[in-house]
Amino acid sequence: MIFSSGTNCDEETEYAFKKAGGEVFKLHINYLKRNKKILKEFHILSLPGGFTYGDYISAGKILANELRYYFQEEIKDFIKEGKLIIGICNGFQILCKAGLLPGFDDYFSFPQVTLTFNDSQKFECRWVSLKVNHNSPTPFIKDLDEIIELPIAHAEGKFFVDKEEVLKKLKENNQIVLKYINNPNGSIEDIAGICDATGRIFGLMPHPERFIFPLHHPLRKNKVDGLKFFINACEYAKREL
């Protein structure tokens, strides 16, 4: 797990992976700069939610630039080895602004999609219903129900694409993984999460790490939708790598 100043969902994400059966190591970006080769030792790379570097410039932009300029070759090797990457909320913003998503033909290309300010012009913090696209190639959504619930907490969560051909390609490749049923931020096509063309890089604005116990849900739901994302990731890593 990579985090930086301003990350504030690292402990919850760490706990979710541990509950799913994973072994977790938290690596501050400054430590990783001095120990780049350590990425080879891991099977899943997670970018948790938060407000890295205070979201100065724009949400996730500074850490996205650090990944692009310090770790491009190491992360490309990580991807070539068939390993998984997940970005949650601020992590999703980072993946998009670093050019790792949508990842049509190459990685760290000029950003083709972004997350920008909500249409409401305010911070949105609530539970949302989501539709899962099971035609998507990502292993993160295996065995999830068609409709799930997760909490959101973001000010810059509006998924935006300014080129029709990019949106068309996302649809054709089934890279749109999650859609809002009641769009809370004005995202184009109600998009809440996408993956790359392989399905192994996945980003989403909702917080699955905040729904891993029934008591997390206001109605105390027994089926904890969030935990399944982490179980799927760990099972994939154990099976495939």
Confidence of residue 240 (pLDDT cuts 50, 70, 90): confident
Residues 115, 159 contacting (CB under 8 angstroms) = yes
Please give the radius of gyration of the chain, using alpha carbons only, rounded to the nearest integer: 16
Number of domains in the chain: 1
* Cβ atoms within 10 Å, residue 4: 20
From the list 43, 154, 207, 217, the catalytic residue is 207
Domain range enclosing 207: 2-240
- Phi first, then psi, for residue 76 (nearest 5°) are -60, -40
Contact (Cβ atoms closer than 8 angstroms) between residue 148 and residue 225: yes
pTM: 0.97
Tokens of 211: 């729904």
Say yes or no to pLDDT of 241 above 80.
Answer: no
- Find the catalytic residue in 89, 96, 195, 234: 89
Q: Is 125 tagged catalytic?
A: no
Task: State yes or no: is 9 an active-site residue.
Answer: no
For residue 173, is pLDDT > 90? yes
The helix (H) or strand (E) run that includes residue 114 is strand 114-116
Tens-digit pLDDT profile for residues 87-109: 999 999 999 999 999 999 899 99
Q: How many CB atoms lie within 10 A of CB 194?
A: 26
Amino acid at 168: K
Contact criterion met (CB below 8 Å) for 93 and 194: no
Percent of residues, the chain, with pLDDT higher than 70: 100
Task: Convert the pLDDT of each residue in 121-156 to its tens digit.
Answer: 999 999 999 999 999 999 999 999 999 999 999 999
What digits encode the pLDDT tens for the residues 22-66?
Answer: 999 999 999 999 999 999 999 999 999 999 999 999 999 999 999
Q: Which long-range contacts (CB under 8 A, 24 or more apart) does 183-187 make?
A: 184/118, 184/120, 184/124, 184/126, 184/128, 184/152, 184/157, 185/118, 185/119, 185/120, 185/124, 185/152, 185/154, 185/157, 185/158, 185/159, 186/118, 186/119, 186/120, 186/158, 187/157, 187/158, 187/159, 187/160
Catalytic residue flag (residue 154)? no
| pLDDT tens per residue across span 157-167 | 999 999 999 99
Each residue of 175-186: pLDDT tens digit?
Answer: 999 999 999 999
CATH number of domain containing 31: 3.40.50.880
Catalytic residue among 209, 216, 217, 234: 209
pLDDT tens-digit map of 194-209: 999 999 999 999 999 9
Strands 2-3 and 27-28: parallel
